[in-house]
Amino acid sequence: MSAYQAFDNEMAIEYINNLGGIFPPDAQLSCYEFGDGNLNLVFRVTDQHNHSVILKQALPYARCVGESWPLTLDRARIEANALLRHGKVCPTHTVQVIHHDSVQAVTILEDLGHLRILRGELNAGRTFANLGRDVARYLATTSFYHSDFYLSAVEKKSLVQTFTNPELCAITEELFFDDPYQDSERNHYPDALSPEVSKLHRNKALKLAIAQLKTRFLSSPQALLHGDAHSGSLFVDDTTTKLIDPEFAFFGPIGFDLGSFIGNLLLNFCAQHGRINEPSKRRDIHTYLLRTIDICLSEFEQQWLSLCAQQGKDSTLLVPGYAEHFLNDVFQDAIGYCGCEMIRRTIGLAHVSDLDEIQDVKARLRAQRLALEVGEQLILHARSCHNKDACYQLIISVLQ
């Protein structure tokens, strides 16, 4: 196969057989496709001993927005290379790449089927003690080693070129920063939320803050980001945390990933009001989510400062106090992007099941209103937080 072809089950098996080396020569392979099919095909290929790998193939369009949003297959190259680079510095929390083929836009990955996707687990009220620490380590390590503190400017400029990802960035630019703050056909929300949405559209201070956050998203290549670090991109169990699916990877503001992750925890926080009726159980998951955010911020800071001290290379940036100053900007960005994520997941194109699957209509509306309100307040007050603790306190105060 020399030209791109979307695979079916048989083609996926044939591809792996032709490749060789993935399974033993006598392997008898079976296969099924189980992706949500929005952007990619995802096959599980298993042999007679129940060993398996994942074969992921990019589709040349985004199905959720119809054929009208064609997408370059180049994102498969970007995703595989982001995983390879992140995996090199943080193998513990990065899904492993076994093979990549940019012509077929195919990546073969370790099968994480023994783990569960974080979003579903949180929705079911299950908690993971290491989550905040692990995600912080992944984000701090992968961003530090791709930042100006570590890379030479020449190396970094070359990587920025390699990871230029205009089409997938454009999706984020429009869905994150444009649509929710203006009338757009892609927005969707219940009529009952219209007053809140109109209020957002009239809030001039909010729109100024959004312009600033969009500018930094567009023009602040601080490090190689995951680019889509939401609860659906995280595989977990009690001892393991793995990030998957960085097809939106690009060099951007470090706070973007941190904010996306925290935003998804806070969306779940808001949703639990409509999901768990028993007050003590709800309190437990709320406490867990806040504790996870607190640990994530602290661990991120500690890891970054420790990496600067041990691995930092740019003597001008390593002047005492500058890393702390830099991180404070990262935390302010994170709070802002966290707020954006909460708003766009409530009224924009791509929603979260945390909120949308709340059965009771009134409870769902209350949770959605809370998510909008929390998101708005975080965006408005992010720049007043002058350290990590102030960021955490802001989150606590807007939830009350």
Q: Are strands 106-110 and 241-243 parallel, antiparallel or unpaired?
A: unpaired
Q: Measuring CA to CA, how many Å separate 245 from each of 81, 151, 228, 279, 328?
A: 11, 24, 8, 35, 28
Q: Which lies closer to its own copies via its Cβ, residue 208 or residue 396?
A: 208
Q: Which lies closer to its own copies via its Cβ, residue 25 or residue 321?
A: 321
Q: Which lies closer to its own copies via its Cβ, residue 6 or residue 318?
A: 318
Q: Are strands 241-243 and 223-224 parallel, antiparallel or unpaired?
A: unpaired
Contact with its own copies (CB under 8 A) among 5, 182, 239, 393: 182
Contact with its own copies (CB under 8 A) among 160, 350, 390, 399: 160
> Which helix (H) or strand (E) covers residue 341, if one does?
helix 322-347
Question: What is the DSSP-derived secondary structure letter of residue 384?
Answer: G
CA dist., res. 158 & res. 30, Å (int)? 41
According to the binding rule CB under 8 A, does residue 331 interact with its own copies? no
What x-and-dash track marks residues 290-329 binding its own copies by CB under 8 A? ------------------------xxxx-xxxx--xx---
Contact with its own copies (CB under 8 A) among 167, 237, 294, 389: 167
Question: What is the DSSP-derived secondary structure letter of residue 96?
Answer: P
Per CB under 8 A, which region of 105-113, 165-173, 266-274, 297-305 contacts its own copies?
A: 165-173
Q: Which lies closer to its own copies via its Cβ, residue 287 or residue 384?
A: 384
According to the binding rule CB under 8 A, does residue 170 interact with its own copies? yes
Q: Which lies closer to its own copies via its Cβ, residue 198 or residue 239?
A: 198
In this structure, what token pair is assigned to residue 41?
A: 């095909």
In this structure, what token pair is assigned to residue 119?
A: 């979003």
Per CB under 8 A, which region of 77-85, 89-97, 189-197, 217-225 contacts its own copies?
A: 217-225
Q: Which lies closer to its own copies via its Cβ, residue 129 or residue 208?
A: 208
Q: 213: closest CA among 385, 334, 300?
A: 334
65-124 positions binding its own copies, by CB under 8 A: none
Query: Residue with structure tokens 């791709």?
Result: 146
CA dist., res. 164 & res. 158, Å (int)? 10
Query: Residue with structure tokens 């996306």?
Result: 260
Question: What is the DSSP-derived secondary structure letter of residue 72?
Answer: -
Contact with its own copies (CB under 8 A) among 50, 68, 219, 310: 219
Contact with its own copies (CB under 8 A) among 14, 110, 148, 389: 148
Query: Measured from the CB of residue 218, what is the shortest distance to its own copies in angstroms?
Result: 5
According to the binding rule CB under 8 A, does residue 221 interact with its own copies? yes
Q: Measuring CA to CA, how many Å separate 122 from each of 234, 235, 246, 296?
A: 11, 12, 21, 16
244-273 positions binding its own copies, by CB under 8 A: none
Query: Measured from the CB of residue 178, what is the shortest distance to its own copies in angstroms?
Result: 5
Q: Could you please report the per-residue DSSP string of 229-282?
A: -SGGGEEE-SS-EEE---TT--EE-THHHHHHHHHHHHHHHHHHHHH--SHHHH
The length of the chain in residues reads 400
Query: Measured from the CB of residue 209, what is the shortest distance to its own copies in angstroms?
Result: 9
According to the binding rule CB under 8 A, does residue 202 interact with its own copies? no
Q: How many residues bind its own copies (CB under 8 A)?
A: 41
Q: Are strands 106-110 and 52-58 parallel, antiparallel or unpaired?
A: antiparallel
According to the binding rule CB under 8 A, does residue 20 interact with its own copies? no
Helices and strands (DSSP H and E) totals, the chain: 14, 10
Applying CB under 8 A, the residues found at the interface with its own copies are 148, 153-154, 156-158, 160-161, 164, 166-167, 169-170, 173, 177-178, 181-182, 204, 207-208, 210-212, 214-215, 218-222, 314-317, 319-322, 325-326
